[in-house]
Amino acid sequence: MRIAVGGFQHETNTFAPTKADYAAFEQADSWPALQRGEGLLSAFEGMNVPIAGFIDAASSGNTLLPLVWCSATPSAHVTEDAFERIMAMMLEDLREAGSFDAVYLDLHGAMVTEHFDDGEGEILRRVRAAIGPRVPLVASLDLHANVTARMVGEADALVAYRTYPHVDMAETGARAAEHLFHLVKSGARQAKAMRRLDYLIPLTAQCTLIEPAASLYGLVSETEGHVSGNGRVSSVSFTTGFPPVDIPECGPVVVAYADTEAAAAEAAQRIADAVREAEPDFREKLWSARDAVAHAIAHSSPGKGPIVLADTQDNPGAGGNGDTIGILSELIAQDARNACLAVLFDPESAARAAEAGEGARVSLALGAKTGGAPDEHPLEGEFEVMRVTDGEFLATGPFYGGSRMSLGRTVRLRTGGVQVVVASRKGQCADKEMIRHTGLDPRELGILVVKSSVHFRADFGPMASEVLVVESPGPNTADLAKLPFTRLRKGLRVTPMGEGFGVS
Ligand SMILES: [Zn+2]
């Protein structure tokens, strides 16, 4: 088979402070820089990235034709300029690929651009228009996709992750490959069914290591491959959705593919019913920074593993800039001991501290520079420079594992019993190495604050004595009822068991 392979990944938080421009897609972050041409086929080797799993599963016996692949850190809208430039590359690469039997795209599913609510729907529409109605078009999606009717309509199949933390990204690419082989070999179209849920699920409650998501994804796996009198179910995906997105089609969706309409509908309905029943269990407890720090100081003890505070509202994986200082200020105010926050984004402070050198004491105005929390001001104080690094290291945890990270110049600072890892690039703290490469073992900490919502649980969960989700200033609003939505569809419940949007 000749299979065209590409990708265009962005998770858009329409309430975030900064947009994703072309440069954001061109550069490397925790994932590789923009790839094009033959180099793409080896750029992802060993990484937990969907296209890596796809290439691995599809390369032997087939010819893979590279299209453009790129991703940017989650943020506000993708600029029109970036979207149009990247789509022009993708369509040009498709033309150059000549003839092919199928197309695979590594997409996120929650992209909003300056000019389209449904970024992936538009990507799939343009690719479909270029390849015609008969060539199978399969895309893998993030579990946080806000799947739209257009996406389902244009693609032959959408195959989503089943874990959050996303430890199965490469595995999902491989599942997409299996499904694509099946489509090409059978030559037959699969029936599709889509079911929308009518409530938003808070990000931190979507974690698949805890209930109710753990059981729901068990049901998803069990339903795929199921054979009934109606036929065989070939693929089932449940996307929990990315909530901070003010578009009518925001929210959780179930998509199923099967031999027959009846089998697809039965499978999708079965999962959707279970998700509806689980609604009360998706409510979550949020701590204030003050209470969380006081609790952590009172309950942390040496050798037990850190109490981990998730600074979810400033999660760079969900549109935060990673530079708000609410919890950091609280740690200092309450004189916490053996505490560390990671990773604070502040290139200016990292540069000043690095210039001063290890062992120096330096006066800094730390963090709060990008407007992620409009009421905050930088934290003024004197800090000891504990370590200076180039921010280049190999991630080792189950989430980022295998990725070469480039955080830019990075420093570890200390004031009293509180330390902070400061980097020159944004990065969600979801890998021990992000701290350990600065010479500090996070297992030895009493209190660890991470700028992450859920992904940190993959690597930090096993060592944590307790996890508290904290509501401290930042653009990724955890209490969805506080977001100034204006464009959701009528009746959608913004929180589990909450009130319907636009219903008074
Ligand atoms: Zn995700």
User: Over its length of 504 residues, how does the chain's per-residue pLDDT go in tens digits?
Assistant: 999 999 999 999 999 888 999 999 999 877 899 999 999 999 999 899 999 999 999 999 999 999 999 999 889 999 999 999 999 999 999 999 999 999 999 999 999 999 999 999 999 999 999 999 999 999 999 999 999 999 999 999 999 999 999 999 999 999 999 999 999 998 888 999 999 999 999 999 999 998 999 999 999 999 999 998 889 999 999 999 999 999 999 999 999 999 999 999 999 999 999 999 999 999 988 999 999 999 999 999 988 999 999 999 999 988 789 999 999 999 999 999 999 999 999 999 999 999 999 999 999 999 999 988 989 999 999 999 999 999 999 999 988 888 889 999 999 999 999 999 999 999 999 999 999 999 999 999 999 999 999 999 999 999 999 999 999 999 888 999 999 999 999 999 999 999 999 986
Q: Around Cβ 303, how many Cβ atoms within 10 Å?
A: 8
306: CA distance to ligand 1 center in Å? 25
251: CA distance to ligand 1 center in Å? 13
The whole-angstrom separation of Cα 65 and Cα 97 is: 6
Q: Which amino acid is at 91?
A: L
415: CA distance to ligand 1 center in Å? 34
With vertex at residue 320, the alpha carbon angle to CA 356 and CA 112, rounded to the nearest 5 degrees, is: 135
61: CA distance to ligand 1 center in Å? 31
H or E element at residue 265: helix 261-277
| pLDDT score at 201 | 97
Q: Locate 24 and state its tokens.
A: 């954001």
133: CA distance to ligand 1 center in Å? 30
CA within 13 Å, CB half, 228: 14
Paired strand residues for 192? 257
The whole-angstrom separation of Cα 433 and Cα 30 is: 12
Judge whether 351 and 304 are in contact, CB under 8 Å.
no
195: CA distance to ligand 1 center in Å? 20
List, in order, residues 6 or more apart from 187 with CB less than 8 Å away.
none
The whole-angstrom separation of Cα 349 and Cα 386 is: 14
Q: Which residues of 58-73 are buried (b: 16+ CB within 10 A; e: fewer)?
A: beeebebbbbbbbbbb
455: CA distance to ligand 1 center in Å? 9
Judge whether 407 and 427 are in contact, CB under 8 Å.
yes
190: CA distance to ligand 1 center in Å? 27
361: CA distance to ligand 1 center in Å? 39
- Name the DSSP class of 247: S
56: CA distance to ligand 1 center in Å? 22
Q: Is the peptide bond before 165 cis (omega within 30 degrees of 0)?
A: yes
229: CA distance to ligand 1 center in Å? 35
- Name the DSSP class of 20: B
- Going by their DSSP bridges, the two strands 307-310 and 447-450 should be labelled as parallel
317: CA distance to ligand 1 center in Å? 8
499: CA distance to ligand 1 center in Å? 26
DSSP one-letter string for 378-405: -EEEEEEEEEEE-SEEE--STTTTTPEE
| pLDDT score at 297 | 98
108: CA distance to ligand 1 center in Å? 8
134: CA distance to ligand 1 center in Å? 30
Distance, CA of 404 to chain centre: 17
Q: Tell me the CA distances in angstroms from 9 to 28, 70, 199, 238, one per residue in order.
A: 13, 6, 25, 19
260: CA distance to ligand 1 center in Å? 30
Q: Tell me the CA distances in angstroms from 94 to 159, 168, 174, 211, 463, one per residue in order.
A: 22, 28, 22, 43, 46
144: CA distance to ligand 1 center in Å? 5
Q: Locate 352 and state its tokens.
A: 């000043």
The domains located in the chain, with CATH, are 1-189 (3.40.50), 190-285+486-504 (no CATH), 287-478 (no CATH)
Judge whether 237 and 141 are in contact, CB under 8 Å.
yes
Q: Tell me the CA distances in angstroms from 497 to 277, 281, 282, 469, one per residue in order.
A: 11, 10, 9, 20
336: CA distance to ligand 1 center in Å? 32
- Going by their DSSP bridges, the two strands 392-394 and 404-406 should be labelled as antiparallel
- Name the DSSP class of 442: G
- This prediction has a pTM of 0.86
206: CA distance to ligand 1 center in Å? 10
166: CA distance to ligand 1 center in Å? 7
How many H helices and E strands in the chain? Answer: 14, 20
How long, in residues, is the chain? 504
10: CA distance to ligand 1 center in Å? 10
List, in order, residues 6 or more apart from 291 with CB less than 8 Å away.
none
106: CA distance to ligand 1 center in Å? 13
142: CA distance to ligand 1 center in Å? 5
List, in order, residues 6 or more apart from 298 with CB less than 8 Å away.
none
417: CA distance to ligand 1 center in Å? 34
End-to-end CA, the chain: 55
104: CA distance to ligand 1 center in Å? 19
φ/ψ of 75, rounded to 5, equals -170, -170
424: CA distance to ligand 1 center in Å? 23
439: CA distance to ligand 1 center in Å? 29
196: CA distance to ligand 1 center in Å? 19
Coil, helix or strand at residue 414: strand
